[in-house]
Amino acid sequence: MRAGLLEWSTVEAFRAAGVAHRLDRHGMVHDGMELRHDGAAFRLAFSELTGVPMVVYGQQEIVKDLIGARLESQGEIHFGVTDVRICQVGVDGSLVQCTLDGIPVEISCEFLAGCDGHHGVSRAAIPAQRRSSHQWAYPFAWLGVLAKAPPLSPELIYAVTDRGFALQSMRSPDVSRLYLQVPPNEPIHLRSDEEIWHELDLRLTGGTGKLPTGTITERVLVGLRAHVEEHMQYRTLFLLGDAAHIVPPSAAKGLNMAVADARLLAEGLDHWYRSGRRDLLDGYQSHSLRRAWHGQEFSEFMTSLLHVSPGESAAQRRMRRARLDLLRRSSTAATAFAEQYVGLSRP
Ligand code: DHB
């Protein structure tokens, strides 16, 4: 069960594509979130501040909906694909070789959408002399658990403590999604379930024992790192989502940025096939990259706001607290933060 926090523009993209029936029924609309620090809690009412809510709906549910829609429209979709190789990226089209259900095939196409994630083959198909990228890693990771337990609160809770960060999210009224900041290379099974619950309770409730517990059904370790590929298009190849940029999960922007890329490219292709004009396609990279850097900047802001860095000085810690305090005291600061959180301010 991966990320599940959707910006309103992502919900609208799914609606426009006609794939939001289940999302509209089961998505949990959120109007605010809670920030806890130094034993205090305050609610950031982002709907009130910006006019748009967020929606919690699991990523694998989105995948189910997209596969369902593709099959319903008699579109082709293949799962048993291996040995994918991009052999040629030309100005008029591209050529891909792969093994499809055991049979070697060659696919020629007018355009190639590289939506194959951070470890896919598309990014490497752009010639090295045309590539430049930025990447960095944060000195901590998240241990995420999925649990058969009602969430502590119906809204997300971001808890900032001297022991490290913790996040409470959910997938349904009976299923919680919780994360703990841990050292970057911590083995995933180092902590027992009891130790995880104890640490979550310490960070989220101050150790009051109020955090509802239950069976942990899944664990993941998420490294916090960032990557931006500056060249997102080459001739007829376009990079989308994680193939082009990854963000630390702190602001839950990764999936939303990927959907924004897909929407932008779809508009460009639609425009090309309707009018024969390439201007939208040609502008794909500059538009998407600008948006990616805004997403990266806010993810960086939230990451440094929420986490204890190894070796953080007392002064740095005090300044982090001051930034949290500013969000509570200043409606201007809270509104600016909320606009970025819900994605309204991203170009
Ligand atoms: C969730 C994940 C995130 O990275 C985040 O910032 C908020 C929520 C989630 O899994 O629900």
Q: What is the ipTM, given to two decimal places?
A: 0.98
Question: What are the beta bridge partners of residue 81?
Answer: 100
The 237-239 sheet, strands edge to edge: 112-114, 237-239, 233-234
Q: Quick one: pLDDT at residue 145?
A: 97
pLDDT of 341 strictly over 80: yes
212: domain CATH number is: 3.30.9.10
- Does the beta carbon of 170 lie inside 6 Å of ligand 1? no
Q: Are residues 124 and 243 in the same domain?
A: yes
Residue of 34, 55, 167, 247 with the most ligand 1 atoms within 8 Å of its CB, for mutation: 167
- What separation in Å is there between the alpha carbon of 223 and the centre of ligand 1? 14
Which residues are known catalytic residues? 30, 158, 249, 253, 341
Please state, for a pLDDT cut of 70, what percent of the chain lies above it.
99
| 60, two tokens | 């694998």
Q: Are residues 218 and 140 in the same domain?
A: yes
Based on DSSP, count helices (H) and strands (E) in the chain, helices before strands. Answer: 10, 17
Q: How confident is the model at residue 308 (pLDDT cuts 50, 70, 90)?
A: very high
Q: Are residues 216 and 279 in the same domain?
A: no
- What separation in Å is there between the alpha carbon of 330 and the centre of ligand 1? 25
Report the nearest atom of ligand 1 relative to the CA of 1: 10
Protein residue with its CA nearest to atom 2 in ligand 1: 3
Q: What is the pLDDT of residues 161-177, one digit of tens each?
A: 999 999 999 999 999 99
Exposure string over 77-92, b if 16+ CB within 10 A, otherwise e: eeeeeeeeebebbeee
In this prediction, residues 271-275 reach a mean pLDDT of 98
Q: Quick one: pLDDT at residue 4?
A: 86
Report the chain's terminal Cα–Cα distance, integer Å: 29
In a domain, 98, yes or no: no
In this prediction, residues 164-192 reach a mean pLDDT of 96
Are 126 and 139 in contact, with CB atoms under 8 Å apart? no
| 147, two tokens | 């649990």
Q: Which of 210, 228, 246 is the last residue of a domain?
A: 228
Q: Quick one: pLDDT at residue 347?
A: 79
Q: Are residues 21 and 147 in the same domain?
A: no
- Does the beta carbon of 3 lie inside 6 Å of ligand 1? yes
Residue of 46, 177, 225, 342 with the most ligand 1 atoms within 8 Å of its CB, for mutation: 177
- What separation in Å is there between the alpha carbon of 138 and the centre of ligand 1? 17
Q: Are residues 152 and 213 in the same domain?
A: yes
Q: Quick one: pLDDT at residue 223?
A: 94
Q: Are residues 126 and 209 in the same domain?
A: no
- Does the beta carbon of 4 lie inside 6 Å of ligand 1? yes
Residue 38: partners with Cβ closer than 8 Å, 6 or more residues away: 321
Q: Domain range holding 259? A: 112-132+230-299
In this prediction, residues 75-103 reach a mean pLDDT of 95
- Does the beta carbon of 247 lie inside 6 Å of ligand 1? no
In this prediction, residues 12-30 reach a mean pLDDT of 97
Whole-number Å distance between alpha carbons of 165 and 249: 13
pTM: 0.96
In this prediction, residues 94-120 reach a mean pLDDT of 96
Give 172 or 30, the one with higher predicted confidence.
30
Secondary structure class of 63 (helix, strand, coil): helix
Q: Quick one: pLDDT at residue 346?
A: 78
Are 53 and 154 in contact, with CB atoms under 8 Å apart? no
Q: Are residues 68 and 125 in the same domain?
A: no
Are 44 and 338 in contact, with CB atoms under 8 Å apart? yes
Average pLDDT, the chain: 96
pLDDT of 1 strictly over 70: no
pLDDT of 2 strictly over 60: yes
Q: Quick one: pLDDT at residue 345?
A: 78
pLDDT of 3 strictly over 80: no
